[in-house]
Every structure is written in C-alpha cells, then in structure tokens.
Structure 1
Amino acid sequence: MDEQLAATIGERVRLRCLASRLPKTVIAGLAGITADYLYQIERGLKLPTVTVLKQLAEVLHVSADELLSSSPKRGASTRPGAAGDALYRAFTRPLPPDAAAVDLKALQHNIFGAWQTWQTSATRYSELTPDLPALVVETEQALRSAANSSAADRREVQFCAADLYALLRSVAKRLGRVDVSLLAADRAIRAGENADDPLRLAMAQWNLAQVLLADGEAEGAEDVAMQAAEALSPQAAEDLDAVALRGALLLVGSIAAARQGNVWQARERVQTVEPLAKRTGERNTLWTVFGPTNVAMHAVSVEVEAGAAADGLRLAERIDHDRSPSIERRVAFLLDQAKGQVQRRDFGSALVMLSATEREAPEDLKHRPAAHKLLETLVQRARRSVATEAARLATRVGAPL
C-alpha cells in the first residue's frame, strides 16, 4: 500500500465527511462499504479501490480528483495562483511603445482607493485583485512618461509608485507569491529613493522587512527594520509621522527578534515603542497602522511567538481590536489568539477565534496560510464536534486543507 497516498486520501475523505451533515454510517451505506472500512480509509489505514473512491466522491458531492489531491481544486478565475500570476506578468512584461498619457490625479485617486479597500473591506481580495495588474501597468507608464514632466510631477509619480508597490507587497504576500512581494518591495524602495522622501523610503523598508519575515529570513528582516528605524531617529524628534514609522519599524524588529528566539529583546523593543505610540496616538502614516492598539497587538504576537500562550491571551483580553483601522491587523490579531489557544490545546476556543475571523473577513481565511494551518490542526486533533465545525468552516470559505 502507498502509505502517503492512503494518508492523503484519508485526510480528504475525513474532511469531507466532517463537512457533510450525514452520519458516518449513512455515508458508508450510500457508498456501499461498512462503517469500519470508512473509518480505516479516513485514518489512512486502507487505500480505497477506484470504485470505492468514486462512490465516496458521489456521496460527498465532490470529484474523485479532489479526494486524490492534497488541496481542493479551484476555478481558474478564483484560485490565488491566477491573481498572483497576473501581478507577476504586469511587473515583468514590457510596456507598449504607444501607451496613452496617464492622468496623474486619477492615478493618485485610484491608488488611494485601492489602499482604502485593502484596509477596510471584508471582500478586499475579490474587489482588488482583478484591477491591480492594470494599475501596475498604468503606474509604470506614468514613470516612463515622467521624464518629460515638471520636477513636481516627477516627484508625485514616484510617490504614486511607492504607495502602490507597498500595497502590492501586502497583497502578493497574502496570495502566496513571495517572489512578487519581494519585487514590489524593491520597487517601492527605488521609488522612495527617487522621490527623495525619507518617510516613503522608511515605509518601503518596513515593507521589505515584512517580506523577509514571511520568507523565513528573520535575521535579514531585523537588520532592515532596525537600520531604517535608526535612520529616522533625527526626523522623529519633531515629526509625528516619522515617529509613527520609526515605531512601526521597531515593532517589525520585535517580531523578527522573537522568531530568532531572542524573546527578551523582542519584549524590550515593544516596551521601547509604547511611549512613541502615546505621542502619536492612533495613526495610519503611509498605511502602516501605528498606535497604542497596534503596539498592544504586537505584544500579544511576541508572547505567542515565544510559546507563552497564557501570557499572550491574557494581554489580548485587554485589547479592543475594533480600534485598529486595518482589517489586516485585526485579522492577524484574531489568528494570533487562535494560535495561542491551539498551543494550550483549547481547540474549542481556537475555533471561536477562527469563526470571529470569518465574520470579520471570510476571504482572509481562504488566503492566509496561517489560517489554513490552524484549521487543519483543528480538523486533525480536536474532538469530533470541534473538528466537524472546523471542517465545515474550511469548506464554507474555500480554505485549502
């Protein structure tokens, strides 16, 4: 028996059985097998025949291919890969030589609107991803045409590019395209440098550090974030936007330190940032979402990263996450709490947090790898009632397990 294939099919069959509202005995009977045989299939102890696999697929209302796969099939128009591929093509294909002139004011308006959608809409993926490739092309056209513009217009175009590519860094990361995310972060840094704007350059470096964290390069992320924070120190003496960006960079540095096992240093950095947040209040400088609420959320993240789930969850109880202007941060906070509950083996409470995430932003459960891992853990390790609800939640939002 191919043990890996049996385990893969077993996981898929178990997920679909849990997600269905039929008792196991009914599923087995409709498929023409015994309940014990179905149990052995689910546990990877038996590899079903092709006939049995087809019968199970028919009863569970899925294709046999889906039961053979380690992840559910998606339509070409909705799978994350299609959106990521479209962004990559927009970044890498040459511009048409006879492109029309770009309306700079309209471009600024569209980028601002895209950021607002990304930070506030529960359906931000489906709303944004179809339009972003064209926005990339339009921005690149504006950059090429800027050589013949005034100095003020050239600078405004660089502002647009920095802002757009900062957005695309986050979107590409959530679509699972670290390559596109890194490319976007690099272009944001180039635009910040060309604009001679220390704040946008710092924002771009914050984005680069985020990409490195997502790619498992915590040491590189820490270096980028801490050097950028130090470079902002003189400006942060007077400018509250600079204070906010410096604080945001230090928070990235705290998470990077925690992921390298330097927990006390991570905690010290969060404590260092607290007075900065008191100075700025809740602020969203260049879409980096800094303030007392975000600092408190990062304190929770550090404890969860350190495996101190009880401390992290105790801190989380004091936080009103609705005060954050970014749905991105609110979802990350809910997932951190779910992760902490899993660390404590309180799978029921973890499911409560994931259900709250669904209410907040169902598309994030579909796209975020951290959410997929949590759901999979509940399906595999929780008691049957919790596992069943987790499987139904995963199926409902289209999360690949």
Structure 2
Amino acid sequence: MPDLDDDHTGARIKKQRKLARLSQRELADVIPYSYSLLNQVECGARAATLDFTAAVAKALRVDVTTLTGQPYVTELQQDRLTALVRPIREALDVYDLGPDPEQLVRPTPPLVAAADGLCQAVRATHLRVAASDLPGLIHELTTAVWRAPCTELWQALASTYRTAHDIAVKFGYFDLSSVALDRMAWAAERASDPCLAAIRQYMRALVYFREGEYIIGRRLISSGHGLLLQAPADARETMAVTGQLHLGATVIAARARDSAGVKNHLMQATACATRTGDAASIHWLSFGPTNIDLHRMSAAVEIGHYDDAVSQAEKIEIPPGLATSRRAHFYIDRARSEMEVGSTEAALKSLVSARRAAPEQTRYHPGARETISGLVRAARRTPETLNHMAAWIGL
C-alpha cells in the first residue's frame, strides 16, 4: 500500500484551520458536516468529497484550490503540460492591442472552423492538442477581428476564449480560467450574441459552484436566463442553452441541499430537451436527454444520496456519440458513489474506465484523485490496479 503523507486535502484543511485559529469543533459548527467527518478527513481516514471541500473553503475564506493543491504541478510537469500554459496566458493578454502587423490571417471560414474544432477537441479530451493550438488561433483571430470586424469572427474569438477557460479548469489553473471568461464576455458583447453571453454566465456559475458560493451561482444562472430574452425564444439554440442553464442550476441546488430546486430544474431541462432532442453539437454543450440523466445522477451524488446515484448509474446507457469528457465525468461520479456505499471494487473499475476514456482529464480531476486516495485508505490490501492508479496521481 502506498504511504500516505501530509500532501492531501485533509492535511491542507488542517493547516488552514490552524492558520484561522479554529479548533475542529469550531470549524465543524460552521459547516454542514459533522465533527466526526472533519476529524476523519483531516487525519486521512476519509476522502474529502468536493462538496465537503467547498464548504470548508467557504468557511475558512480560502480558495478551494488552496485545499485541493491545484494545479498539480508535479504531474503537469511530468506530462510536459506546464509549458503550454504560459502561451495561453500571453494570448489572452493581447485582446486590446489591435492587429498584429506581422500576423498572417486566414479567411473567415477556416478560422471559424478552427475555433469549432478546438471546442470539439476539448470535448474529445485531446487537451494537449487543443492547448498547443489555442494560443496561435487566439492571436490570429484577434488580428483578424481587429482588421475586419464581423459577427462570425467575434463569435469565433469568444469560442476560443471559452476553450481557454475549459483547458485552464481541467489543468487546475482557475485564475487563468477567470481571465478567459472575462475575455469571452468582451468578445460575446461585440458579437451581440446573447446565447454566448448566457453560456459565459453558466460557466461563471460553475466557478462559484466549485467554491461553495451557491447564492451567487444561482444569481448567475438567473442572469443567463435574462440574457436569453434577447434571443429568438423558439430557436433550437436558445432552447438548448436554456436547458443547460437549468442543468447547471440542478447541481447547484443539490449542493445547497435544495431537493425541490433539483426537481424543478430537472423538469425545466426535460421540457427543453423534449423540444430540442439530442442537441449535443449546439455550442458543444452535450445538451439532450442523456445529459439530463447524467445530471440527475450527479445531483444525487452532490446531495449525498449515494445509493440512489449508484442505482441510477447502473441504468444509464451511454450512447457512442456522447462527448468523451462527459463520459469520463460520469465514471468519476459513479466511482465516488460506489466508494461511499462500500463497493470498492466497482469504484476502482469505474475509475479505470474514466482513465481509459480520458486519461489527462481524469488525472487532474480532484474528484478522481480524492476517490483514488479514499480507496487506498480503505483497502487492507491494495490491489495491483489500485497501486498503479495511486502512483499515477502521485500518491
């Protein structure tokens, strides 16, 4: 069994709690979790779930990444991914400099296609390829849109900023993801595209969801719905974005232990999906009936109904066309629930499935890492597969 050192979420919680001069009892009194669970997490006997970590981060007034240890720099360096981050950061910083006189620019159609291709690459979890190609495309689109502004180019630029956000989140650089979302708002406004603006609010809401700020998250979802009032109400695109906003609100309500809100938002999303059908390709949101089933299961996970989540997971049939990123997320959620109900072999199998589907995404997903750590702590004898998984995440 791998040795468990102090480099885990529970140890970081303990360190930040002591810096805040709080006892375990005092911290437990201001989070919706028991003293016993806090004690077990700090000593490494239990995994720190994402909802637990978010609640502690909010109570201690620190970023969630302070507790999770993101970005996982050692592993990123091993995978030679850290070198891809700085060019993205620099590309995001040239938005207001006008055209680059030395930049060669392709015609609009291939630029738009390239931006769409990067969105598709992220959903296919080809993160290294997308991160490598992204800075050059941002530079090219920025020059193109300054030379000959048009709606298509502004939309494409907003799309590349969204891709920057997605990559930054998956690599654990949340400061960079916030910059990317600001740039996305800047481009979406110039594109006069309410759907893109609403998607940006959806993504901002998920940022606050990760940080445990559910009231702000709900306000952002509401703001997204307000922006869609400027879009054609009956358009399939509008319906798909509306439905995705409701799915975002579903997991936020689950974290806030609002069962009525979960039920209401799932009902609203289902009504949208009835009108759109499978709309996975619209803004690469993966919206449709399958994504609703996946969010229903995720809501059960977030609200702590693990038996229900496992039962739902066993009934979900993943279609071949579902985005790889979404499929991997499903396996990670399933693994967490299986671990919580004591089905450790099933949890390990689900994690292996997530790794096979999306190795880069899974390696840097805090939920996957905590579940692997939890399985190691729970095992009397560590199976060889689990040993490999633990070593893979740096445990």
The Cα of 1:128 is off from its aligned counterpart by 1.9
Change (3 A) 1:131 1:235: closer
Question: Could you list the per-position Cα deviations for residues 25-55 of structure 1 after superposition, in whole angstroms to 9, with x for gaps in the alignment?
Answer: xxxxxxxxxxxxxxxxxx99xxxxxxxxxxx
| Secondary structure of the structure 1 residue equivalent to 2:319 | helix
In the alignment, is residue 337 of structure 1 matched against residue 334 of structure 2? yes
The 5 Å alignment of 1:163-312 reads: 163-232=159-228, 235=231, 237-284=233-280, 285-312=282-309
Question: Could you list the per-position Cα deviations for residues 83-129 of structure 1 after superposition, in whole angstroms to 9, with x for gaps in the alignment?
Answer: 333322322368685332422333212212212222225xx122222
Change (3 A) 1:75 1:230: closer
What residue number does 1:87 align with? Answer: 88
Matching residue within 143, 152, 177 for 1:156: 152
The Cα of 1:249 is off from its aligned counterpart by 0.5
CA distance in 2, matches of 1:83, 1:362: 17
Change (3 A) 1:75 1:266: closer
Matching residue within 347, 351, 363 for 2:348: 351
Matching residue within 79, 99, 102 for 2:105: 102
In the alignment, is residue 126 of structure 1 matched against residue 108 of structure 2? no
Change (3 A) 1:137 1:235: closer
Change (3 A) 1:303 1:86: same
Q: Tell me which structure has the larger Cα radius of gyration.
A: 1
CA distance in 2, matches of 1:254, 1:308: 15
The one-letter code matched in structure 1 to 2:298 is: S
CA distance in 2, matches of 1:346, 1:330: 20
In the alignment, is residue 114 of structure 1 matched against residue 118 of structure 2? yes
**TM-score when scaled to structure 1?**
0.74
| Secondary structure of the structure 1 residue equivalent to 2:5 | helix
Question: Could you list the per-position Cα deviations for residues 301-356 of structure 1 after superposition, in whole angstroms to 9, with x for gaps in the alignment?
Answer: 01000110111121222211235531111111111111111211221111010011
Percent identity reads: 26
Change (3 A) 1:10 1:307: closer
In the alignment, is residue 325 of structure 1 matched against residue 326 of structure 2? no
The Cα of 1:287 is off from its aligned counterpart by 1.2
Could you list the runs of 5+ residues in structure 2 that have no partner in the other structure? 9-42, 45-71
The Cα of 1:77 is off from its aligned counterpart by 7.1
What residue number does 1:48 align with? Answer: none
The question of whether the paired residues in 2 share the 8 Å contact of 1:192 and 1:198 is answered with: yes
Higher relative contact order (CA 8 A, sep 6+): 2
The 5 Å alignment of 1:138-157 reads: 138-145=140-147, 149=148, 153-157=149-153
What residue number does 1:399 align with? Answer: 393
Change (3 A) 1:82 1:111: same
The question of whether the paired residues in 1 share the 8 Å contact of 2:103 and 2:140 is answered with: no
The Cα of 1:162 is off from its aligned counterpart by 1.4
**TM-score when scaled to structure 2?**
0.75
CA distance in 2, matches of 1:211, 1:399: 24
What residue number does 2:376 align with? Answer: 379
The Cα of 1:245 is off from its aligned counterpart by 0.5
Question: Could you list the per-position Cα deviations for residues 5-31 of structure 1 after superposition, in whole angstroms to 9, with x for gaps in the alignment?
Answer: x962899xxxxxxxxxxxxxxxxxxxx
CA distance in 2, matches of 1:9, 1:309: 28
Change (3 A) 1:82 1:394: farther
The question of whether the paired residues in 2 share the 8 Å contact of 1:236 and 1:242 is answered with: yes
The 5 Å alignment of 1:8-23 reads: 8=5
The one-letter code matched in structure 1 to 2:307 is: A
Count how many residue pairs are aligned between Structure 1 and Structure 2. 328
Change (3 A) 1:86 1:367: farther
Change (3 A) 1:79 1:225: farther
Change (3 A) 1:271 1:74: closer
Could you list the runs of 5+ residues in structure 1 that have no partner in the other structure? 1-5, 12-42, 45-70
The Cα of 1:371 is off from its aligned counterpart by 1.2
CA distance in 2, matches of 1:77, 1:88: 20
The question of whether the paired residues in 2 share the 8 Å contact of 1:162 and 1:191 is answered with: yes
What residue number does 2:139 align with? Answer: 137
What residue number does 2:363 align with? Answer: 366
Q: Aligned-residue CA RMSD in angstroms?
A: 2.7
